[in-house]
Amino acid sequence: MAGRLRDLSVRAGTAVLLGLVVLGSLFFGGVLGLAAVIAVVATLATMEFYALTRRESRLPSELIGLAAVAAMPFAAAGWGALGLTAVVGILVISAFFWHVMIRQVRLYDTGVTLFGAVYVGFTLAHVVLVRELDQGMWLAFVMIASIWANDSFAYIAGSTIGKHRMAPRISPKKSWEGFAAGTLATTGVWIAANALPGIDLPLGWRIAIGAAASLAAAIGDLSESRIKREVGVKDSGTLLPGHGGYLDRFDSFIMVSIVTYYMLFAAGVR
């Protein structure tokens, strides 16, 4: 019991510290401060992804992939979606130049290079794009709060009343009860969003965004679990006490950030 409480306190402490860094950059760092934090997180998470693929004898070009990942949030901060797309274009050209020049490289190596950078860097850069929207600071805050609410309530419900497993061969502890609780929590956060300054989204859109974000969080979690199971590891890394690696901690952000951005765009937020 004492060991479990100690583990929970370590996990909570790490989560609080990360939360303070992310929220501090959001509210006090401006768009460039937020871009810097996202760039660090995305780069470290992508490093972990490439390390996982090397266990399967893949040889990604980490220099190309990581350079693109680090540049993506700043491109989004400076030139919006167009800048982000430009970095992806440069990434593709650079990766295939490397593919042509190095005979030992195979197509799956190039594919891993591109996929890792897009899977982590491109998606997380959408946190910056959300920040750049009208009232984006508060919308980004709601998005982040909804992810934390989803993780917390899904964990509590899953560990206490969870009986029906969503994907037992991929993530044995993830349950439909936890998913339902996470969805209610996420949607509840978005329903309350209009209480914040400048946010005026129709109720239907707030419910839709919450439901879509919850589904995206589950897909992000299960996707990363599937990757780890394929290569035979429990955690993506060891940099975050109580959480494993950055990819473990931000797997929900990866999917939720891009889904939230385009849901807000569809709702007419510019």
State the Cα–Cα distance between residues 139 and 145, nearest whole angstrom.
Answer: 10
Which pair of structure tokens corresponds to residue 203? 């109720």
Greatest extent of the chain over all pairs of C-alpha atoms, in Å: 58
Question: Could you tell me the CA-to-CA distances from 75 to 2, 57, 63, 71, 193 in Å, in that order?
Answer: 47, 32, 18, 6, 28
Neighbours of 233 (CB within 10 A): 16
State the Cα–Cα distance between residues 61 and 114, nearest whole angstrom.
Answer: 9
DSSP string, 67-119: HHHHHHHHHHHHHHHHHHHHHHHHHHHHHHHHHHH-TT--HHHHHHHHHHIII
Scored b (16 or more CB within 10 A) or e, 142-159 reads: bbbbbbbbbbebbbebbe
Pick from 127, 190, 187: which is nearest to 153 by CA? 187
pLDDT of 100: 95
Which pair of structure tokens corresponds to residue 130? 């959300």
**What distance lies between CA 77 and its chain's CA centroid?**
17
Q: How is residue 240 annotated by DSSP?
A: B
- Domain ranges, residue 94: 2-266
State the Cα–Cα distance between residues 36 and 43, nearest whole angstrom.
Answer: 11
Q: How far apart are the first and last CA of the chain?
A: 50
Q: How is residue 244 annotated by DSSP?
A: B
pLDDT of 8: 65
Identify the three-state secondary structure at position 169: coil
State the Cα–Cα distance between residues 74 and 79, nearest whole angstrom.
Answer: 8
Q: Quote the number of domains for the chain.
A: 1
Residue 134 identity (one-letter amino acid): D
pLDDT in tens, the chain (270 residues): 555 566 667 777 888 899 999 999 999 999 999 999 999 999 999 999 999 999 999 999 999 999 999 999 999 999 999 999 999 999 999 999 999 999 889 999 999 999 999 999 999 999 999 999 999 999 999 999 999 999 999 989 988 998 899 998 898 889 999 999 999 999 999 999 999 999 999 999 999 999 999 999 999 999 999 999 999 998 999 888 877 899 999 999 999 999 999 999 999 999
